[in-house]
Chains A and B, each alone.
Chain A
Amino acid sequence: MGTLVNIFTLLLTALVLENAVFSRALDITSLLVLPFGKRGLRLFGMILTGTTTIASLIAGLLNPLLGRWENVQYLRPVVYIVILTLLYGCVCFLLNWRKRDWFSGHHSMITMAFFNCAAYGAMALTVYSGFSWLESAVSGLGIGLSFLLALFVLEQGRRCMSICNIPKAFRGLPSELVYVGLISLSLYGLVGHQLAA
């Protein structure tokens, strides 16, 4: 029961309090800029959720082993990126082998889902927070879901801003950044302090 409560709290924290997009700006580029369209972005969010969950699970499992190295601080990021690369290679190979048509249409989306701040951030956060493998997986899942939540919120914001008479210089990316900034400010009232990078 205690573990379940712990997992639920962790998931809720990752979704709201430490929302990967609003509190840490992880993968904000994919959210604001990538031309995948509404449906494409949702699919991207789901792929990203899978990526962050698996990546942080692997990181959680590897952390005790990595901790034994002498120059672990230098090598940990390299190891994480190598793991992400190998994971990406495996997924691409399998998809290319089994579902070639789908893969050729979604290749860029899969690349972006693996090589971004969110996937790396999910792995790095397992070290900063000292998570076990289960907690790491839940935290990764929370980061992916928080991207989907942010996507929903930004969709509403875009609809609302589309009928506003926004000054020319602020139209598009600048106003969206200010919009995300103000949501981030509202969540600051809940957290009350700056999160560790």
Chain B
Amino acid sequence: MLQYEQKAPYVRNRDSAFTFMMDVVIALLPLYFMAFYFYGFRALMMGLFSVAAAVVSDVVCLLLEGKKPYLRDISSVVIGMILPLMMSAATPYYVVVSAEVFAVVFVKHVFGGVGQSVFNPAAAGFAFAAACWPSQVFSYPAPFSSLEVFGPVSQTLSNGPSWNLFQGGVPTIDVLDLLLGKFMGPMGLTNILVLATCLFYLLFRGAIGWQAPLSFFAIMVTAMLCFPRVPESGPMSLVHEATTGMWVFGGIFLLNEPGTLPKRSSARLAYGALAAVFTILFQRFGQMEQTFAFALLLTNVFGFTLDRNSERLLRQLRRAYLATRTKHSEKKSAQRA
């Protein structure tokens, strides 16, 4: 039997790549609503600029490759919507646009476009922006401060609680505020309850598999509970890390990107676990306050390997099982004879 290696997305049911991506877009809308609630129109404008930059660069790349733009391919819209949510609401528009162009041109199209990405484009875009303009990306305005829609922001910007954690301190924010996302942080990452709803929606709709998020969140939660980064109790550490870090958002929207996610369940479980291990290592030894995007880029390298090896392992297990079964049936027939 010939087996052809095929790249993701592997759509098994009647849903198409379009419906899958629409589900992600729908799941992202509440996050934009919350960002609008906290930071006003600037949050929406950031999303709009980002999507426009992603779509335009996508179309230009397609035309340069001699392909026709396909209207039902909204992958660039998804990348465009995800990226600004990981940044501060006061981030200048040029930062968002540059990160988006980098993500689409150098990460999505260099490796073959939609469904062929070797690395997660949104994570790479964020990593590029964080490397280029760390002060703009990691300086946050206070929630409910009216930010100027155009031009530079006049409000005072400061480091969020993730910086405190990174420096080894304990953030002094009320737990209720933490759960409601009423603190300085990236515009779409602070609302843990909304993020949890998004996760359940995507799981219920079948837009993402349960395997990678399960192993990822299980290891992350265990690590946060058992080995807190700062001197505080395990549950409080978990609350702080989950509400201020990027890993919850990343575990839902970035980790499950079909282009980079392995196709087999066992490989997905291992992939999620590997992403968690890298995230913890980057968090403990890294030199930035938000390192999930960097950790995910490194995890992406091993996605294909995990798929290949899990396939080989399963094949060997199946062979061993069949061999024992044949032996058993031969024994039985010999006994009968």
In the complex, A touching B (Cβ < 8 A):
yes
What are some 18 contacts across the A-B interface (CB < 8 A)? A156-B304, A160-B304, A161-B111, A166-B111, A167-B112, A170-B110, A174-B110, A175-B110, A175-B111, A183-B298, A185-B124, A185-B128, A185-B131, A187-B294, A188-B294, A189-B294, A190-B282, A192-B287
* Cβ–Cβ contact B297 & A186, under 8 A: yes
Cβ-neighbour of B118 out of A157, A189, A190, A193 (below 8 A): A157
* Cβ–Cβ contact A189 & B293, under 8 A: yes
Q: Which 9 A-B pairs have the closest CB atoms?
A: A192-B287, A189-B294, A186-B297, A160-B304, A165-B112, A164-B112, A186-B298, A164-B116, A156-B305
Taking the complex as formed, is A153 at the interface, i.e. its CB lies under 8 A from any CB of chain B?
yes
Taking the complex as formed, is B109 at the interface, i.e. its CB lies under 8 A from any CB of chain A?
yes
* Cβ–Cβ contact A164 & B288, under 8 A: no
Using C-beta atoms within 8 Å of the partner chain, give the interface range for chain A: 20 to 34
B1-33 contacts to A (CB < 8 Å): 5-7
A150-197 contacts to B (CB < 8 Å): 153, 156-157, 159-161, 163-167, 170, 174-175, 178-179, 182-183, 185-193
Which chain A residues lie closer than 8 Å to B282 at the CB level? Answer: 189-190
Cβ-neighbour of A178 out of B6, B110, B291, B297 (below 8 A): B110
Docked Cα-Cα span, A187 to B297, in Å, equals 9
Docked Cα-Cα span, A156 to B119, in Å, equals 13
Shortest CB distance B271–A (Å): 13
Q: A interface vs B, CB < 8 Å?
A: 153, 156-157, 159-161, 163-167, 170, 174-175, 178-179, 182-183, 185-193
Taking the complex as formed, is B182 at the interface, i.e. its CB lies under 8 A from any CB of chain A?
no
Shortest CB distance B282–A (Å): 6
Shortest CB distance A170–B (Å): 5
Which chain A residues lie closer than 8 Å to B218 at the CB level? Answer: none
**Interface of B: prevailing SS:** helix
Shortest CB distance A15–B (Å): 13
Cβ-neighbour of A189 out of B110, B113, B119, B127 (below 8 A): B127
Which chain A residues lie closer than 8 Å to B294 at the CB level? Answer: 185-190
* Cβ–Cβ contact A167 & B109, under 8 A: yes
* Cβ–Cβ contact B304 & A159, under 8 A: yes
Taking the complex as formed, is B70 at the interface, i.e. its CB lies under 8 A from any CB of chain A?
no
Q: Mark B158-183, 1 if CB is under 8 A from A, else 0.
A: 00000000000000000000000000
Docked Cα-Cα span, A161 to B96, in Å, equals 28
Taking the complex as formed, is B286 at the interface, i.e. its CB lies under 8 A from any CB of chain A?
yes
* Cβ–Cβ contact B295 & A157, under 8 A: no
Which chain B residues lie closer than 8 Å to A157 at the CB level? Answer: 118, 301
* Cβ–Cβ contact A163 & B131, under 8 A: no
Which of A167, A182, A188 has the largest number of chain B CB atoms within 10 A? A182
Docked Cα-Cα span, A183 to B111, in Å, equals 14
